[in-house]
Structure 1
Amino acid sequence: MRLIHILIAILLVQLGFSQSKNQYSISFDNAVHHEAKIKLTLTDLKADTIAVRMSRTSPGRYALHEFAKNVYDLVVTDGKGKKITATRPNPHQWDISGHDGTVNVSYTLFADRADGTYSQIDETHAHLNIPATFIYAPELKDRPIEITFDLRKDLNWKIATQLKTLGTNKFGAPNLQYFMDSPVEISNHTVREFKVASNGSDYIIKLALHHPGTEEEASTYFEKIKKIVVQEKAVFGEYPKFDNNTYTFLACYMPQVSGDGMEHRNSTILTSTRSLANEGMEKNIGTVSHEFFHAWNVERIRPKTLEPFNFEEANMSGELWFAEGFTSYYTGLILCRAGILSQEQYIKGLAGSYNYVWNSPARAYFNPTEMSYQAPFVDAATSVDPVNRGNTFISYYSYGSVLGLALDLSLRSLKDDLNLDDYMKLVWKKYGKTEIPYTKNNLRTTLKEYAGKSFASDFFQKYIDDSQIPDYKTLFAEFGVSLINDSKKPYHGISIKFDKNNNAIINNYPKKGTPAYKVGLDKDDIILAINDDSFTNKKELEELLKKYTPGEKIKITYKRFEKEIETEMTLATDPKIEIVLQQNAGKKATNKREKWLNAK
């Protein structure tokens, strides 16, 4: 039998069915000017024409990003070095004909933005997101990939990535999807790692930290990361099967980067201008919590609408309220369970998302599923025309987060042994561990299985398919938490900025239903006086408004298009609430709160 297999393999090679590799090399001689030289070699080509292109999207991002704009000096040759002319059917693609079965594509890439989407090359690092860096051949997407990094020896660079090591500075990926999902941080970075065990396997959790700080700071920070890793595993009951038995945090906390976080299958990018000595120890850690949770929720518990990821068009999903939003709910909760946030800090911090979501008029336009559909317009997407997002959009991160909170508290109130952790475990077993992409209806059916048909149908009907508000006051009360509103604080609904001439300019499109919206005030109007009292700075304005109470009418004098106008506004009650932990809560409420917030 073995001989037959060998003969078949030989025959396949003779017929041209051997598994050829797409080979890349990249060098950084002109890093000071943010350039890399890149070469792609494609062999064993059968078709007369082969298309190569730059991606327009990046895994974990949903909007279009035109990466081809940073490619130039592109030269194509065949296997003998003969130059070939490539045609351009669109801005992202080069069609190559007249080759001899081998095509070499060399080009220069300009890269100067380090975040979870783009690439940056300078003399401190080569921060590479693969779609923003490498041309690829769509027709050859199933071929293995090899890449060789030609490192600058004078810069003491080393390589951190989830790609498989194939030798000195050489790495591989099994196919294009995995390659595109595998960012690379090349720098003189610090490395920390520890071992975890799950289901009979050992995994290395690694931190590759590029920062201007000390080894001691790196060690202190890594101890926080370790606590997060352990608490997130407790939610799902096990770690994913990390490829190559390793998961890597690619953290770049340098002054020239752009703040971001981006999940990948076996790694995540973490970028911030905050060093660990400059607030980063506390403020950067939330991104760690969020992105590592994605190793389960998104990377393996994956919406069917995002599988496979499309590199040529925007990626739209109606499940981002769950994929991103429920992950956002766990971001702070895990920090609390890990002891990085106190219970009081965590509870107080819930108010930001609560006020943003439930005080928004956007719920009249879109439910959480439809908010998720907006991702291609808002997820690091850029445009030049103004939008009315303040009235029409709620981030699926925040919306999903407060819904995750409501579902967790509702489950815990329904029955003592129910909670969101165990629901997530069930979703993991059905759709994550098996890597079967899910739909919204799968999530609904799984909740029915976990908590009962009536409960699940009610929750989805009211809060996912519709935009109703859960009864948080009643839910929180069972856990010794209070919602507090200042009924005496007046509210007008506009944001004011002062220019260099002390003009008070409305800085936002007033939200629908607010006092300012009702009387026709608009962005860029200049407020001249309130009841004939003028002011020249923010402090004077705040002191002036303290004289008034909700329900009181005030005269607003303002200027629009050089014309002075007067209107009368009735002040409302400030809708913002505070969420407060009750220090003297009863024993039953305290016990329920401890089960919710304590380490697992």
Structure 2
Amino acid sequence: MKFYFFLLLSVSTTILSAQTNSYEIAFENAVHHEAVIKGSFPKLKTDTVSFRMSRTSPGRYALHEFAKNIYNFKATDSKGKTLEVLRPDPYQWQVIGHDGSITINYTLFANRGDGTYSQVDETHAHLNIPATFMYAPELSERKIKVDFKVRNDLGWKVATQLPLVSGTTYSATNLYYFMDSPTEISNHSIREFEVEDNGKEQKIRFVLHHNGTDEELDAYFENVKKTVLAQKDVYGEFSNFDYGTYTFLACYIPNASGDGMEHRNSTILTSTRSLAEGGMEGNIGTVSHEFFHAWNVERIRPKSLEPFNFEEANMSGALWFAEGFTSYYTNLILCRAGVISPEKYVEGISGTFNYVWNSPARQFFNPIEMSYQAPFVDAATTVDPVNRENTFISYYSYGSILGLALDLSLRKEKLNLDDYMKLVWKKHGKTEKPYTVENLQQSLAEYAGNDFAQGFFGNYIYKSEMPDYSSLLNSVGVTLKQNSEEPYFGAAVSLNGDGHGEIKSNPKMDAPAYIAGLDKGDIITDINGSGFPDGQQFSTYIEKLKVGDTLKITFNRFGAVKKTTVILKPNPDYSLTLMEKEDAKPSKKQLRQRTDWLKTTP
């Protein structure tokens, strides 16, 4: 998340102080997930001041109603007089009758530790600022100071990208930078290292709140360092971090909710996996993804997200690039850094590839239009059923597979995606000049030629066609193949507790289950007169059958007994494997291309 922030120069200390909004936040009732917040707003010039809770959060695109967790709101003037408060809508509190100064007090309930919400308990105060602090839109350009009243009895310390004033008081140059600055208050551990770039030293700081050992953190931090340095190689230089520091805020604790969220000079990383129980391997991908955003999306910024709107959903047609190309690099970087093997990396592409390639959704939306869906899917909530299995492909996955295609296509032309990203960085990242999708095409034309750029954008971005992945992967010694003898049903089925099977997903269009008229929620009671195969996974049962087998199915829908016939088709999924694993010997050219791609020793 990038925001412009403005330095206040040649201003006296008195004037600066008068134009500063101040907050205090305390956690005496942390055991019940409460924080008590006080905000002071001096030198007010309007009769009525509106205080709001944000409805969005930097890096997220859907609406989040943070106001629902606010209560005990009170407002007073400089003399302590209680002021009248109006509620014109659910998101704001209008205060009238002040004497030029307003102090607000309220209680926040916070119990979700992720990249969007806040969590307060006796293990930590995990604060995403939009979910925590009210703000006055008309005062958005004022400097902000915030005093985090830490629980010394719990050994708490403050970690944030905000610059320290003194003690536990931090500052922000304006509202936008404040909102973009998550804060972790806990008894955490810190590891850091210096990076030198273009004659300037910057600090990479890794803050970890966990229940593990220092030895586990030390080992994990080595992989973090490798990942950070491998990402720098893509762009040729680091971003110019404000205040000279980039901070990872990691919570690997049982009460967290798995997530990752980028910010201008920091990122939140949350997981229930401890380093000792799978987190050493399972959590590092989020580190890679979020740090790549320090370039791509924080500074290489879609124009459609500028300025970020805290009151409405934020929509962009460029998320296939901002999120998707970042996803492409996530595991590629881990491979280049030696954190995962080339074999694991290549085979790991299979799931994402199949999700995109086999989705019926491409007939409805191209990658730009899939990006438009973000406000409905990016941690959004809904109570009505949706048909995402057939109508939506995540822009993370769609963009990742297109990033793979573009990289391998460029390499056939003795070019590469890294150098294209460097060009986009130079034109739009270092200059912080927001881009449009048209700008991305123009940059590709500048790098690879107009015909190449028109072909890629015309076929795969503005339309939803798919490249020739078999040829592209073959160029780097990777085999793409299907198992035509593996049977396919086309819907997820699980035991429902009474020996029957419930269809848990909307059947894929044109899949056997779809053609047979089965639907989500149907209860399968009998298959070929033998009941439902109780005691085993339904997928395991299907695997033992053959393509073309006929399943005469009895099922219950809305209390009525129905029958249908399913004829199993070949599984449409592909697998990606290194040629060597298939007893095929790649040529020297293929190995050389693979080495250049993965930056590994052949």
Equivalent AA in structure 1 for residue 596 of structure 2: K
The one-letter amino acid paired with 1:82 is K
Residue from 463, 480, 492 that aligns with 1:483? 480
- For the 8 Å contact 1:231–1:599, the answer to whether it is kept is no
Where structure 2 has 5 or more consecutive residues not aligned to the other structure, the ranges are 1-9
> d(CA) in 1 for partners of 2:105 and 2:168?
19
| 2:592 paired with 1:591 | yes
Partner of 2:234: 235
Q: 1:460: how far off?
A: 0.4
Q: Is 1:161–1:182's contact at 8 Å kept on the other side of the alignment?
A: yes
| Deviation string, structure 1 residues 336-380 (Cα, Å, up to 9, x no partner) | 001011000000000010001111101111110000000000000
Cα distance in 2 between the residues matched to 1:168 and 1:599: 47
* Alpha-carbon separation, structure 1, partners of 2:52 and 2:309: 13
Separation (CA, whole Å) in 2 of partners of 1:546 and 1:290: 35
Aligned residue in 2 for 1:204 = 203
CA distance in 2, matches of 1:282, 1:126: 26
Matched position secondary structure for 2:220: helix
| 2:557 corresponds to 1:560 | yes
**Aligned counterpart, 1:511:** 508
CA deviations on 1:34-92 (whole Å, 9 max, x unpaired) are 11111110011111111111000000000111111111111100011111011011111
2:445 is the counterpart of 1:448: yes
Amino acid at match of 1:185: E
* C-alpha contact 2:552 2:564 (8 A) present in aligned 1: yes
- Are residues 152 and 546 of structure 1, via their aligned partners in 2, closer, same or farther at CA, if it must alter by over 3 Å? closer
Is 2:213 the partner of 1:246? no
Given that 2:489 and 2:568 are in contact with CA atoms closer than 8 Å, whether structure 1 keeps it comes out as: yes
Q: Match of 2:536, SS?
A: helix
Q: What secondary structure does 1:397 align onto?
A: helix
Give 2:6's aligned residue: none
Label 1:152 to 1:556 Cα distance change in 2 as closer, same or farther (>3 A).
same
Q: Aligned equivalents of 1:478 and 1:71: distance in 2?
A: 57
Q: Give the Å deviation of 1:543.
A: 6.2
Deviations 1:520-579 (A, max 9, x none): 111121223333233332637556545643234432222223333222222211001110
Question: Is contact 1:204-1:245 (8 Å) kept?
Answer: yes
Equivalent AA in structure 2 for residue 591 of structure 1: R
Aligned-partner residue type, residue 464 of structure 1:
I
What does residue 3 of structure 1 align with? none
Cα 1:222–1:547 change in 2 (3 A) is: closer
2-structure distance, mates of 1:387, 1:420: 36
From the superposition, tell whether residues 109 and 543 of structure 1 become closer, same or farther in structure 2 (CA, over 3 Å): closer
Question: Which residue of the partner structure matches residue 432 of structure 1?
Answer: 429
User: What amino acid sits opposite 2:588 in the alignment?
Assistant: K
CA contact under 8 A between 2:195 and 2:202: conserved in structure 1? yes
* Pair 1:213–1:570, CA change in 2 (3 A): same
1:293 & 1:543 partners in 2: Cα distance?
A: 38
Provide structure 1 residue ranges, at least 5 long, that are not aligned to the other structure.
1-7
Q: Distance between the aligned counterparts of 2:557 and 2:44, measured in 1?
A: 65
Equivalent-residue separation in structure 1 for 2:313 and 2:498 (angstroms): 43
Q: Following the alignment from structure 1 to structure 2, what is the Cα–Cα distance between the partners of residues 53 and 545?
A: 54
Alignment partners' CA distance in 2, 1:380 and 1:342: 31
Task: Give a deviation string over 1:395-446, Cα, whole Å, max 9, x none.
Answer: 0000000000000000001x22x10000000000000000001000000000
Note if contact 1:410-1:475 (Cα within 8 Å) is conserved in structure 2.
yes
Q: Find the counterpart in structure 2 of residue 193 from structure 1.
A: 192
**Equivalences for residues 468-547 of structure 1 within 5 A:** 468-537=465-534, 539=536, 541=538, 545-546=542-543
Alignment-derived partner of residue 126 in structure 2: 127
Alpha-carbon shift at residue 505 of structure 1 (Å)? 1.2
User: What is aligned with 2:567?
Assistant: 570
Cα 1:192–1:513 shift into 2, 3 Å: same
Aligned 8 A contact 1:362 1:391 in 2 = yes
Question: Is 2:493–2:538's contact at 8 Å kept on the other side of the alignment?
Answer: no
8 Å Cα contact 2:18/2:43 also seen in 1: no
Match of 1:282 in 2: 281
Paired position in structure 1 for 2:454 = 457
Alignment of 1:174-189 (within 5 A): 174-189=173-188
1:351–1:203 CA distance, 2 compared to 1 (3 A): same
Q: 2:7 maps to which residue? A: none
Structure-2 change in CA distance of 1:337 and 1:9 (3 Å): closer
The separation in 2 between residues aligned to 1:319 and 1:437, in whole angstroms, is: 11
AA in 2 matched with 1:313: E
- Counterpart of 2:222 in structure 1 is 223
State the distance in 1 between where 2:136 and 2:565 align. 63
Q: Kindly provide the amino acid, as one letter, of the partner of residue 149 in structure 1.
A: F
Give the whole-Å Cα distance in 2 for the aligned partners of 1:210 and 1:466. Answer: 45
Find the residue that maps to 2:278 and give its secondary structure: helix
- Mapped to 2, the partners of 1:540 and 1:343 lie a distance apart of 31
Count of residue correspondences: 588
Distance 1:9 1:475, change over 3 A: closer
1:161 aligned partner:
160
- TM-score normalised by L of structure 1: 0.96
Tell me which residue corresponds to 2:3. none
Q: TM-score, normalised by structure 2?
A: 0.95
Shift of 1:302: 0.4
- Give distance in 1, aligned partners of 2:468 and 2:135: 51
Secondary structure at the residue paired with 2:459?
A: helix
Separation in structure 2 between the aligned mates of residue 279 and residue 547 of structure 1, nearest angstrom: 31
- Tell me, in whole angstroms, the C-alpha distance in 2 between the residues paired with 1:83 and 1:468: 63
Same amino acid, percent of matched pairs: 60
Cα displacement (A) at 1:19: 6.3
Partners of 1:62 and 1:543 lie apart in 2 by: 38
User: What is the one-letter code of the residue matched to 1:427?
Assistant: V
Residue 17 of structure 1: how far off its partner (Å): 9.7
Give, as a single letter, the amino acid of the residue that structure 1 aligns with 2:71.
Y
**Which letter does structure 2 place at the counterpart of 1:275?**
S
* Deviation, structure 1 residue 286: 0.3
Describe the SS at the equivalent of 1:578. Answer: strand
Is the contact between residue 504 and residue 521 of structure 2 (CA under 8 Å) also seen in structure 1? yes
Aligned to 2:405: 406
Q: Equivalent residue of 1:539, what SS? A: coil
Moved more, 555-564 or 256-265: 555-564
Corresponding letter in the other structure for 2:411 = R
Q: Which of residues 397, 419, 426 is equivalent to 2:416?
A: 419
Q: Structure 1 runs of 4+ off > 6 angstroms?
A: 16-19
Q: Paired residue for 1:68?
A: 67
Are the aligned partners of 2:147 and 2:170 in contact in 1 as well (CA < 8 Å)? yes
Alignment-derived partner of residue 42 in structure 1: 41
Residues 1:588 and 1:535: Cα distance change in structure 2 (over 3 Å): same
**Alignment deviations for residues 452-507 of structure 1 (CA, whole Å, 9 cap, x no partner):** 00000000011101111110000011110001211001112121110211111111
Change (3 A) 1:174 1:535: same
Instruction: Give the letter aligned to residue 345 of structure 1.
Output: K
d(CA) in 2 for partners of 1:40 and 1:29? 17
Specify the code of the residue in structure 1 equivalent to 2:91. H
Report which stretch shifted further, 493-502 or 175-184: 493-502
Task: Give the 5 Å matches for 1:16-27.
Answer: 20-27=19-26
- Structure 2 CA distance for aligned equivalents of residues 337 and 456 of structure 1: 27
Partner amino acid for 1:207? F
> 1:150 Cα deviation (Å)?
1.3
